[in-house]
A and B are shown apart, each in its own frame.
Chain A
C-alpha cells in the first residue's frame, strides 16, 4: 500500500513537472529576431492591417496619422476586464524594450519578463504573421509619439489571474496553422494572411467555447459581441451574401450594399482597412468568398450567447 502511494506521489510530481514545463512561455530566440531589419514605412501599412491603434489609443481618441498609443481602453469580458496597456515609445510603454522583446509579445504572446499575455491581445492571430512584417511594425511603432501614461492592471478575478494557467490555454487553443488550408489562389492566400493573421477578424466573428477558445470549426460564422449586447455577423458565404465588390467597398468606405454604415468596433476596422491598397481589400474579399459557408452556430451553454439564433 505504501509503495502504491509512493508511486502515485511520484507520478503526481512528474505530472506537475510536465505541466509546468508544458505551460512555460515559449519566446522565439532573441538572435533570430534581432537579425531582422525593420522598415518603418512598410510598417505603417502593417500597423493599419493589424489594427493596433484601435485598441491601444486612449479611450475616445480620434483616429490620426500618428496615434498616441497610451492605452487605457477597457474590454469587458466574461473572464474579467482587460485594460489595454501603453505601447508607445516611452519608459511607460515599450520604449525600453528591445525590438525582439516587442516582436515576441506580438508573435508569441510573451512579455519581456517571460510571462504569458492574455488572449485579449490577439497574439493567437499575430503568431501567423511574417516576422519581417512584425519587424517593420516595430520600426513604425518607434516613430509614433510617446505617452507617459502608466499602464493600468487588468481586473481579472481568480482563477483567471494566474498567468501560468494561460500556458494551459495556449496548449489547448493556440492556433499556429491556418484555419483555411487547401488550395488557394495567391490572392486568396494574401487575403487569408490579412484576415487570419494581421486583421485578427476571427477574434470577433468566430464563436468561442466556454474557456474563450475560438471554435475554428465555426470559423467566421458570427459570435455574440463581447460587450454583452449585440451580435457580430456571420461573414462566411452562408451569412454574407455580398459580392466581392460590395465587400471591397465596405472595407474602404464603411457603406454596406444597402447604404447603411457599419458601426461598433467595425467602424475602427474600416478606419484601418481604408488605409490598405485596393489589392489588399480585394484579397480579403476573395478569401471571404473561399471560406466554407457555415450557418450561424448554436450557442454553447455558458458562453453568454443568447443572440446567435436571431
Chain B
C-alpha cells in the first residue's frame, strides 16, 4: 500500500512537472517565471546572510558560506535567455520589467556584472566573521537597487 502511494505520488509529481512545461505555456511566460524564481532564490539566500548581518539571527559561518555560495552561483548564470523581447510590463500584466531594459541592454548587462562583483566579494567574506560579512552586504544591496532603480516598475 505504501509502495502504491509512493508510485501515485511520483506519478502525480511527474504529471505536474509535465504540465508546467506543457506546450500551452508561451516562451514569454516561461521566461517570466524563470526570472521571478531566480529573484526569489536571491531573496531566500539574502535572507540568511542579511538576517545575520542585521542581527536577526545568530552568525553561523557555515550557513553564511552556503548562502553566499548560492548567491554567487545565481549571479553567475548567463541570463541571456531570461529576457526575450515581449516580456516587459508593457507586454505582460505580471511583469515588472521596464521596457528600458531592451533599450539599454549594455547598461543592463553592466549592472548584472556589478552584482556579480559584489557577490564575489560577499562569497569571499561570508565565512570569515560577522563584521566581514556585514562589510560586504552594503555593496550587494546597492547593486540590487542600482538595477531596480532604472529597470523595475514601482509597485506595492
A binds B: yes
Interface residues of A (CB under 8 A from B): 222, 225, 227, 229-234, 239, 249, 253-255, 258-268, 270, 296, 310
Given that A259-B43, A259-B50 are known contacts, is A310 also in contact with B156, CB under 8 Å in the complex? yes
- Give 6 new A-B contacts, CB below 8 A, not counting A253-B54, A254-B145, A263-B151: A260-B43, A263-B152, A264-B153, A266-B154, A267-B149, A270-B145
User: CA A268 – CA B89 in complex, angstroms?
Assistant: 22
How many Å from the CB of B140 to the closest CB on chain A? 9
User: CA A249 – CA B138 in complex, angstroms?
Assistant: 11
Question: In the complex, which residues 77-102 of chain B have their Cβ closer than 8 Å to any Cβ of chain A?
Answer: 89-90, 96, 98
Whether B137 is near chain A, meaning CB under 8 Å from some CB there, is: yes
Instruction: Tell whether, in the assembled complex, residue B156 and residue A262 are in contact, meaning their CB atoms are under 8 Å apart.
Output: no
User: CA A58 – CA B112 in complex, angstroms?
Assistant: 23
Residue of A265, A266, A267 ringed by the most chain B CB atoms within 10 A: A267
User: CA A296 – CA B155 in complex, angstroms?
Assistant: 13
A-B contact pairs, 10 of them (CB 8 A): A229-B154, A231-B156, A234-B156, A259-B44, A261-B141, A261-B145, A264-B149, A265-B154, A268-B149, A310-B156
Whether B35 is near chain A, meaning CB under 8 Å from some CB there, is: no
Instruction: Tell whether, in the assembled complex, residue A263 and residue B141 are in contact, meaning their CB atoms are under 8 Å apart.
Output: no
Instruction: Tell whether, in the assembled complex, residue B155 and residue A230 are in contact, meaning their CB atoms are under 8 Å apart.
Output: yes
Closest to B90 in A: A229
Interface residues of B (CB under 8 A from A): 39, 42-44, 46-47, 50, 54, 89-90, 96, 98, 137-138, 141-142, 144-149, 151-156
How many Å from the CB of A170 to the closest CB on chain B? 28
List the 9 shortest-distance A-B pairs measured between CB atoms, nearest first.
A263-B148, A230-B154, A267-B149, A261-B144, A259-B46, A230-B153, A264-B154, A267-B145, A259-B43
User: CA A75 – CA B152 in complex, angstroms?
Assistant: 17
Closest to B98 in A: A229
Instruction: Tell whether, in the assembled complex, residue A231 and residue B154 are in contact, meaning their CB atoms are under 8 Å apart.
Output: yes
Instruction: Tell whether, in the assembled complex, residue B43 and residue A258 are in contact, meaning their CB atoms are under 8 Å apart.
Output: yes
Instruction: Tell whether, in the assembled complex, residue B141 and residue A255 are in contact, meaning their CB atoms are under 8 Å apart.
Output: yes
How many Å from the CB of B129 to the closest CB on chain A? 19
Given that A260-B43, A264-B149 are known contacts, is A254 also in contact with B144, CB under 8 Å in the complex? yes
